[in-house]
């Protein structure tokens, strides 16, 4: 009879993703994703967990290059006798040539859930594992079926890749309702698929959580990424977050109105990033949208990017408007002024955004900077 067990819960590692949008940096990024994977296995060892769970999408594709598969297998084998449990996700479903289905490939300490829900008991670590995996890109039926778990000394832990929905709502990716979780009788349900980490919650006596992805891949997956270390017992769970990502994705908006020249813009932007992203902003992947009014011909995103080339990856988007001479507009007898007046008259019939964009494009064209 064990009082509590310690598990490491991670998900959505997406090993094998190409990261094309990072251009020249994509190769390095691919390596970094693999490094993060190793950081996780090291962490599992260091934290002396009883069980390492990967809740789906360990790989980015159903079939990834062989060297990645071998690297993963060897890392898991090296953890032995620490038990590792994986389930296949919608990005790496157990289709016919999936590495998950290979016989004689995975070491003995790895358990893989690659189809419908099933139960496996590991009395030596005091855990009963209930898991399910994707056999295709879609799973419109829930994989968390009704079950009655025996009340004994074993800690009941669930492992699934899926989407939490409200009653009556459906999903293409293993819909799970809170009620189902409540009725499951599990002590902890390790979920994957949602890339944004969610704080652990309780449904009945079950604690469930999305650990979120472990390394950001596209903007939207911003901020710190990592894993959950949970001490699970029949009476409750103690869950804490441990960051493992090598780099963060960050997004900012920056108004350059009133700034003179690319040098000043770069300097001010640097200050902003130091404040909002942190003193380690140089190591991150950052996208900044420049807004406000720019003197025509002055702003060059390339020049600013060069001045900030010590940032690992910086994507500047020019969303500025050319400066409008208020006097000229006031006088109203030039084409420019007349154009703006007539454009604004269209406000009722045309969406605001389009008017703004038309204004911006035309002012650029007036200044000869459109093309």
Partner 1 sequence: MRILKIEINNFGKLNNFVLEPGSGLNLIYGRNEDGKSTIMAFIRMMFYGNVGSAKELGANARKKYRPWNGSSMGGAIEFLHGGKRYRLQKRFGQTAGRDEVHLFNMDTGEPVALRSDEEAGMHFFGMTLDGFERSMFIGRSGGFESRDGKADGITERLVNLTTSNDENVSMKQTLEDLNKALEQLVSKRGNAGLLVETRERATELDRELREAKAEESAKRATRDELETLLTLQATEKERLEKVRERRKEADRLAKETEEKREKLNLAERRNALFEAEKQKREEVSAVKIQQTEEKMNQAREASESGKELNLIPVFAGFCVLTACAAIALAVVFKPVFLLLLLAIPVFLLGEMSAVSRRRRMRIYREAALARAGKLEEELEDLLEAVGRQGEEDEKNKKRLEAEEKDAADQLKRTETRRSELIKQLSSDDGLEDSIIEREQKISEIRAFLRPEGRALSEIIDERSEVLEQLAGYEERYEALKLAIEVMEEAGEELRKNFGPRLNTRTAEIFSGLTGGKYSNVNVSKNFGVRVLEEGDSFYHEGGYLSNGTNDQVYFALRLAIAEILTEAEKEMLPLLLDDIFEQYDDERTAKGLRFLDAYSSERGGQVILFTCHRHVLEMAEKVTEHSGFFDLSSSGT
Span interacting with partner 1, options 69-77, 222-230, 231-239, 357-365, rule CB under 8 A = 357-365
Give the H or E element holding residue 237.
strand 236-243
Q: Are 254 and 291 a contacting pair, CB within 8 Å?
A: yes
Question: Could you give phi then psi for residue 246, rounded to 5 degrees?
Answer: -85, -40
Between 201 and 361, whose beta carbon lies closer to partner 1?
A: 361
**CB-based contacts of 325, cutoff 8 Å, min separation 6:** none
Span interacting with partner 1, options 77-85, 266-274, 288-296, 328-336, rule CB under 8 A = 328-336
Write the DSSP assignment of 184-215 as a string of letters. Answer: H--SEEEEES-SS----EEETTEEEEE---SS
CA distances from 128 to 21, 96, 146, 156, 174 (A): 42, 28, 16, 5, 21
Span interacting with partner 1, options 26-34, 235-243, 285-293, 336-344, rule CB under 8 A = 336-344
Between 83 and 364, whose beta carbon lies closer to partner 1?
A: 364
Among 104, 342, 348, 352, binds partner 1 (CB under 8 A): 342
Span interacting with partner 1, options 227-235, 262-270, 300-308, 353-361, rule CB under 8 A = 353-361
Shortest separation between residue 132's beta carbon and partner 1, angstroms: 10
Find residue 160's DSSP bridge partners. 191
**CB-based contacts of 86, cutoff 8 Å, min separation 6:** 53, 54, 56, 58, 100, 110, 111, 112, 113, 133, 159
Among 66, 108, 335, 352, binds partner 1 (CB under 8 A): 335
Between 105 and 138, whose beta carbon lies closer to partner 1?
A: 138
The distance from CA 37 to its chain's CA centroid, rounded to whole angstroms, is 15
Among 48, 67, 96, 258, binds partner 1 (CB under 8 A): 96
326 contributes a contact to partner 1 by CB under 8 A: no
Dist. CA 294–CA 315, nearest whole Å:
18
Question: 3-class secondary structure for 8-59?
Answer: EEECCCCECCCCHHHHHHHHHHHHHHHHHHHHHHHHHHHCCCCEEEECCCCE
Could you give the string, one character per residue 41-60, with x where binding to partner 1 holds by CB under 8 A and - elsewhere? Answer: -------------------x
Shortest separation between residue 163's beta carbon and partner 1, angstroms: 14
From first CA to last CA, the distance across the chain in angstroms is: 73
346 contributes a contact to partner 1 by CB under 8 A: yes
Between 95 and 307, whose beta carbon lies closer to partner 1?
A: 95
User: How many other C-beta atoms lie within 10 A of the C-beta of residue 90?
Assistant: 22
Shortest separation between residue 116's beta carbon and partner 1, angstroms: 5
Give the H or E element holding residue 131.
strand 127-131
Dist. CA 13–CA 162, nearest whole Å:
15
339 contributes a contact to partner 1 by CB under 8 A: yes
333 contributes a contact to partner 1 by CB under 8 A: yes
91 contributes a contact to partner 1 by CB under 8 A: yes
219 contributes a contact to partner 1 by CB under 8 A: no
Binders of partner 1 among residues 97 to 156 (CB under 8 A) are: 97, 101, 115-116, 118, 135-138, 140
Could you give the string, one character per residue 2-41, with x where binding to partner 1 holds by CB under 8 A and - elsewhere? Answer: ----------------------------------------
Shortest separation between residue 112's beta carbon and partner 1, angstroms: 13
366 contributes a contact to partner 1 by CB under 8 A: yes
Helices (H), 187-292: 261-276
Between 162 and 200, whose beta carbon lies closer to partner 1?
A: 162
> Residue numbers of the site for partner 1 (CB under 8 A)?
60-62, 90-91, 95-97, 101, 115-116, 118, 135-138, 140, 333-336, 338-339, 341-343, 346, 350, 353-355, 357-362, 365-366, 368, 370-371
């Amino acid at each position: 009879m064990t009082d509590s067990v310690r598990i490491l819960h991670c998900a959505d590692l997406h090993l094998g993703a190409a990261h094309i949008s990072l251009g020249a940096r994509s190769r390095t990024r691919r390596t970094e994703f693999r490094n993060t994977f190793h950081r996780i296995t090291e962490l599992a060892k260091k934290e002396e967990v009883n069980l390492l769970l990967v809740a789906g999408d360990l790989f980015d594709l159903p079939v990834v290059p062989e060297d990645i598969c071998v690297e993963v297998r060897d890392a898991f084998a090296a953890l032995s006798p620490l038990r590792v449990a994986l389930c296949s996700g919608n990005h790496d479903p157990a289709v016919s040539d999936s590495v998950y289905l290979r016989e004689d490939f995975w070491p003995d300490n790895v358990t893989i859930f690659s189809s419908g829900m099933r139960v496996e008991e590991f009395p030596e670590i005091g855990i009963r594992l209930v898991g399910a995996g994707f056999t295709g890109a879609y799973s419109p039926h829930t994989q968390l079926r009704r079950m009655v778990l025996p009340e004994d000394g074993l800690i009941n832990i669930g492992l699934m890749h899926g989407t939490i929905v409200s009653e009556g709502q459906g999903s293409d990716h293993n819909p799970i309702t809170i009620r189902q979780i409540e009725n499951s009788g599990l002590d902890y349900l390790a979920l994957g698929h949602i890339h944004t980490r969610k704080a652990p919650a309780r449904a009945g006596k079950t604690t469930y959580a999305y650990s979120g992805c472990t390394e950001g891949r596209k903007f939207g997956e911003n901020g710190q990424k990592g894993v959950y270390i949970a001490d699970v017992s029949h009476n409750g769970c103690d869950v804490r977050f441990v960051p493992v990502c090598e780099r963060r994705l960050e997004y900012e908006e920056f108004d350059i109105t009133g700034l003179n020249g690319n040098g000043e813009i770069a300097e001010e932007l640097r200050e902003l990033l130091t404040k909002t992203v942190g003193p380690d902003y140089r190591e991150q992947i950052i996208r900044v949208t420049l807004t406000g009014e720019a003197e025509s011909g002055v702003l060059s995103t390339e020049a600013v990017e060069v001045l900030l080339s010590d940032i690992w990856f910086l994507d500047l988007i020019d969303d500025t408007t050319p400066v409008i001479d208020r006097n000229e507009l006031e006088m109203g007898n030039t084409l420019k002024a007349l154009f703006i007046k007539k454009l604004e008259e269209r406000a009722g019939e045309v969406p605001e955004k389009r008017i703004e964009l038309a204004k911006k494009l035309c002012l650029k064209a007036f200044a000869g900077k459109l093309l």
